[in-house]
Chain A
Amino acid sequence: MQTNQLLLIFCSALLLLGLLAFFAGRSKATRLRSAGTAMFAQPDQYAWFTVLSTAGPAVVVSALGAFVLLLMGADIPTLYLLAASLVIAAIGLLVSLNQVKPDFHARQAIERVIRMTLAGAALISILTTFGILISIISEALRFFQMHSFWEFITGTTWNPGASFLASAGRGDGSGAEFGSVPLFAGTFMITAIAMLVAVPIGLLSAIYMSEFAPRKVRTVAKPVLEVLAGIPTVVYGFFAAITVAPIIVNIAGFLGLDASYNNALAPGIVMGIMIIPFISSLSDDVINSVPDSMRQGSLALGMTKGETIRDVVVPAAMPGIISASLLGMSRAMGETMIVVMAAGMRPNLTANPLEDMTTVTVRIVAALTGDQEFESAETLSAFALGLVLFVITLALNLVSVLMIRRFREKYRVNNL
């Protein structure tokens, strides 16, 4: 029999058992109550209790079985597994029906089950983090068995070259070099350009919105800026590659400079535009939470509005502004589509933003969409790059969280 059919039969059998449990449990409870006994819970609650104890263990057992089946490759026929689950369901039904007694706290039992289910759901987010860590670290370790970690961190040549041949049994892949410095240099260059665009515009816009703008402008401007953050990155990538890059090449040509169509400036600028709302939104919140007493004090001393903003409000909001910038920076470093579409593929260690250069994320995508086998050093190098990226962005995020917490504690703000 097909697994699909088996599953269908299993599900319908379980559903039938559940329905049976519900009505049996309820009728027993109703009968007991109509006999005049005082009970701890309502008949429906007893009914739900029997349903939960019928279906719950059966589902858990079958899920565990399926997990073991997949994980350990254990050879349990699906038929036996599902049959065993159904038997457990039947046992659960009988036991729980027996439990339907006046002095049994059915409601509390349900409550316990629900609390456990909810806690289980909450654990999934932790599992996700672990999943990311485990998947990246284990594959990265396999990469570092082939190529030294030190070489990966300090090498200045990235040339996977013929490494894929080694896994196919031809050649030893010795020509391949995995020095990630040019990739990180490219990432930092493009991130720096993005920050040069995003931080001034984002911060100044935030200052305008929170200190100068009339209420009406503010309520319109904020959501409009958020639109910038909602545009998919693949769209920005297309915009950078098709519209911005040629403009930059033309301007550079006009100035007598030689620019590549895959220059770092185009993705950098467009990425900066994308990050503006991240910075302006958080900075705006932070500037708004600077206590008004500080502004009033400054104005009372005869400072102009501009001086108050420059010398009092912005310094007070500085931790929050830095935190916003760090968040934007981590967003820029992990950004993929813009650079995949608009930046180059050639690892290039240069300080000239008009040349083409590649980034960490570009190489990750390139390594995983090629035709190489999964075991090849180039494919695994993607995970090593991912690991470094994970560590850097994690550090940036943590510092950012700490900064904002310090601001919050200093001014006792709760809404950040």
Chain B
Amino acid sequence: MSHSFDEISQQLKRRHRKSTRLKWITMGSLGLAGLFLVLFFADMLSKGLPAFQQAYIQTEISYTQEAETDGRRAFDEELLPLISRTAVRTIPLELRNNPDMIGTSKAEWVLANSDVDQYLKGHRHRLSDEEQEALDARVESGQVDLRFNTTFFGSGDSKIAENAGILSAVVGTIMTMIVTLAISFPIGVMTAIYLEEFAPDNRLTQIIEININNLAAIPSILFGLLGLAIFINFFGVPRSSPLVGGMTLALMTLPVIIISTRTALRSVPESIRHAGFGVGCSRWQVVRDHVLPLAMPGIMTGSIIGLAQAMGETAPLIIVGMVAFIPDVGVSFTNAATVMPAQIFTWAGEPEQAFVEKTAGGILVLLTILISLNAFAVVMRKKFERRW
């Protein structure tokens, strides 16, 4: 079989076209992955950014005698369906604490309820036509305003949407992460030092190594089962507490810290160790005074990345009960607490429209923290990285 010159050159063209096509296809799939990322962030921002604003209504509060028992009496009848139940509830308490306020009145910005909030932001709401009209009139006269949502950042969870905040979850996350780091950092670094610098190359060491790689790949929910069965049921650590959550997450973070610490230790050149031994240092002295300080930036980077991973973890914490409803901000290791991802999960389960926005707002807070932690780790690695 023979081909003419033309046929061959045609064939060659085809083959090169195919090659170019492959390039475009592969480029396209990378672009597709990037597109997912962009779409995802755009979606979260559009859903979550409104959560940082909250509707307030300006009104005259008249502190009458009746308002001391029934907070609703302090407000204009027409306004009651528009303002938050929380604003009404605080009036009697306020009056009981300051009895001399009775009889006075003052103009104030009060928290509007979530329906007003959602109406102003153009989302689904449950306001009747008359209520909408009343609201529109007030918007015209500048008595309704969207302001920065201090409640969202300054208070704990609530079943009343406009009153729910993320602070208790942030505090819970910090407490849990303290426990996680306090356990996993020393144990992880010590394990890595042992495996990299001290361990003889025997069966036991190999088993430990395989085991660590395996732990890194075990589904996180199984760590939750361990926390439930061993920490809570067996050792009696209080359920839902940052202590048990932190311990469970510490076991999950351990392999991450061990693996990154080993990489960091391995990147310190042998000559440093030889120099140490040459002047008569013992192995521990070489590790403590030379290898460890040189490997520290790498170790810190790995630990921060592990910490960020633990911070976003939800499944094992649900199993150990850290989805509690925590309205008050509490700084304790043994009381029930919640963490940011668990708070997001709880809010995502609320049927009210206003909570969709809260959930996305919580997600934005969490993502901001995680991205800054990771960026910090990368910057640190760039700054302190040494090439030998």
Where the two chains meet, the residues of A that have a C-beta atom closer than 8 Å to any C-beta of B are 70, 107-108, 110-111, 114-115, 117-119, 121-126, 128-129, 131-132, 134-136, 138-139, 200-202, 204-205, 207-209, 211-213, 221, 223-225, 227-228, 230-235, 237-239, 241-243, 273, 276, 280, 304-307, 309-310, 327, 330-331, 333-337, 340-341, 361, 364-365, 368-369, 374, 382-383, 386, 389-390, 393-394, 397-398, 401
- Number of B residues near A (Cβ < 8 Å) is 88
- In the assembled complex, B79 has its CB within 8 A of some CB on chain A: no
Partner of B23 from the list A201, A306, A361 (CB cut-off 8 Å) is: A306
User: Which A residues are in CB contact (< 8 Å) with B236?
Assistant: 70
Q: Are A336 and B367 in contact, with the CB atoms below 8 A?
A: no
- Contact of B34 with A224 in the complex, beta carbons under 8 Å: yes
Question: Which A-B residue pairs are the 6 nearest by beta carbons?
Answer: A334-B219, A232-B312, A306-B19, A135-B229, A208-B26, A121-B190
| 20 extra interface residue pairs, beta carbon distance < 8 Å, beyond A128-B254, A136-B225, A243-B43 | A122-B191, A122-B195, A124-B191, A129-B215, A131-B251, A132-B218, A132-B223, A201-B33, A207-B22, A212-B27, A228-B33, A232-B314, A233-B312, A242-B359, A276-B33, A280-B33, A304-B19, A305-B19, A309-B22, A383-B229
Taking CB as reference atom, which chain A residue is nearest B197?
Answer: A118
Q: Say if the beta carbon of B107 comes within 8 Å of chain A.
A: no
26 pairs of residues in contact across A and B, judged by CB atoms under 8 Å: A122-B190, A124-B191, A125-B212, A134-B230, A135-B228, A136-B226, A200-B29, A205-B26, A230-B370, A231-B370, A232-B370, A235-B344, A237-B345, A276-B33, A304-B16, A306-B23, A310-B22, A334-B221, A334-B222, A335-B219, A361-B219, A361-B221, A365-B221, A369-B318, A374-B233, A389-B221
Of the residues A135, A239, A364, A390, contact of B40 by C-beta under 8 Å: A239
Contact A124 B187 (CB under 8 A): yes
B contact residues around A132 at 8 Å (CB): 218, 222-223, 225-226
Interface assignment of B126: CB less than 8 Å from any CB of chain A: no
Q: Is the interface of B mostly helix, strand, loop or mixed?
A: helix
Contacts of B198 in A (CB 8 A): 115, 118-119
Chain A hits for B283, CB < 8 A: 111
Q: Find out whether the CB atom of B33 lies under 8 angstroms from the CB atom of A307.
A: no
Report B268-319 residues with CB < 8 Å from chain A CB: 282-284, 308-309, 311-315, 318-319
B386 nearest CB across to chain A (Å):
19
Residue of B nearest to A274 (CB): B36
- B363 CB–A CB distance under 8 Å: yes
Determine whether the beta carbon of B213 is less than 8 Å from that of A337.
no
Given contacts A235-B363, A304-B19, A369-B318, contact A204 B25 (CB under 8 A): yes
Q: Is the CB of B191 within 8 A of A205?
A: no
Instruction: Tell me if B166 counts as interface (CB < 8 A to partner A).
Output: no
Distance between B143 CB and nearest chain A CB, rounded to angstroms:
33
Report A216 CB to chain B, min CB distance, Å: 14
A238 and B348 contact, CB distance less than 8 A = yes
Contact between A237 and B218 (Cβ–Cβ < 8 Å)?
no
- Whether, in the assembled complex, B180 has its beta carbon less than 8 Å from a beta carbon of chain A, the answer is no
A29 to chain B, nearest CB (A): 17
Binding site for A on B (CB under 8 A): 15-16, 18-23, 25-30, 32-34, 36-37, 40, 43-44, 47, 186-187, 190-191, 193-195, 198-199, 207-208, 210-215, 217-226, 228-230, 233, 235-236, 251, 254-255, 258, 282-284, 308-309, 311-315, 318-319, 323, 341-342, 344-345, 348, 356, 359-360, 363, 366-367, 370-371, 374, 378
Known pairs A224-B37, A233-B312; A306 contacts B21 (CB<8 A): yes
- Rounded to whole Å, the gap between the CB of B206 and the closest CB of chain A is 12
* Interface contact A225-B33, CB-CB below 8 Å: yes
Q: Nearest chain A CB to B369's CB is how many angstroms away?
A: 11
* Nearest CB on A from B235, distance (A): 6
Q: Are B30 and A306 in contact (CB under 8 A)?
A: no
Would A238 and B360 be within 8 Å (CB), given that A118-B191, A121-B190, A369-B318 are in contact? yes
CB pair B36–A241 under 8 Å, yes or no, is: no
Q: Are B30 and A393 in contact (CB under 8 A)?
A: no
Which A residues lie within 8 Å of B218 (CB)? 132, 334, 390, 393-394
CB distance from B123 to the nearest CB of A (A): 13
CB pair B221 A131 closer than 8 Å? no
A124/B254 contact (C-beta < 8 A), A208-B23, A306-B19, A337-B345 known: yes
Contacts of B348 in A (CB 8 A): 234, 237-238, 241-242, 341
Interchain CA distance A227-B34 in the complex, whole Å: 10
| Docked complex Cα distance between A208 and B223 (Å) | 37
Query: Residues of A contacting B314 with CB < 8 Å?
Result: 232-234, 336-337
**Contacts known (A125-B211, A126-B208, A221-B30); A111 close to B284, Cβ less than 8 A:** yes
Query: Is A228's CB under 8 angstroms from B36's CB?
Result: yes
Asked if B208 and A122 make an inter-chain contact with CB atoms under 8 angstroms apart, the answer reads yes
Residues on the A chain within 8 Å of B207, using CB = 126
Assembly CA distance A131 to B40 (angstroms) = 38
Task: List the B side residues contacting A228 at CB < 8 Å.
Answer: 33, 36-37
* Residue ID in chain B nearest A304 by CB atoms: B19
Task: Report yes or no: A128 in contact with B30, Cβ–Cβ below 8 A.
Answer: no
Q: Are B229 and A139 in contact (CB-based, < 8 A)? A: yes
Distance, CA A70 to CA B291, complexed state (A): 39
| B194:A118 contact, CB within 8 angstroms | yes
Q: How far is the CB of A192 from chain B (nearest CB, A)?
A: 17
Contact B318 A327 (CB under 8 A): no
The answer for the CA separation of A397 and B221 in the assembled complex, in Å, is: 16
Most chain B beta-carbon contacts within 10 A, residue among A135, A365, A394 = A135
The minimal Cβ–Cβ distance linking A323 to chain B, given in whole angstroms, is 12
Q: Are A234 and B345 in contact (CB under 8 A)?
A: yes
**Distance between Cα atoms of A119 and B187 in the complex (Å):** 10
**Residues of B contacting A118 in the complex (Cβ-Cβ under 8 angstroms):** 190-191, 193-194, 198
Of listed B254, B255, B348, residue having the most chain A CB within 10 A: B348
User: Distance in Å from the Cβ of A183 to the closest Cβ of chain B?
Assistant: 14
Q: Are A227 and B254 in contact (CB under 8 A)?
A: no
State which of B284, B312, B363 has its C-beta within 8 Å of the C-beta of A110: B284
- Cβ–Cβ contact B229 & A125, under 8 A: no
Interface centre among B16, B40, B208, B308 (most CB of A within 10 A): B40
**A-chain residues with CB within 8 Å of residue B233 when the two chains form the complex:** 374
A134-B44 Cα distance, complex, nearest whole Å: 41
Q: Output the residue of B29, B312, B359, B360 with the most chain A CB within 10 A.
A: B29
Query: Whose C-beta in chain A lies nearest to the C-beta of B314?
Result: A234
Interface centre among A204, A273, A280, A398 (most CB of B within 10 A): A204
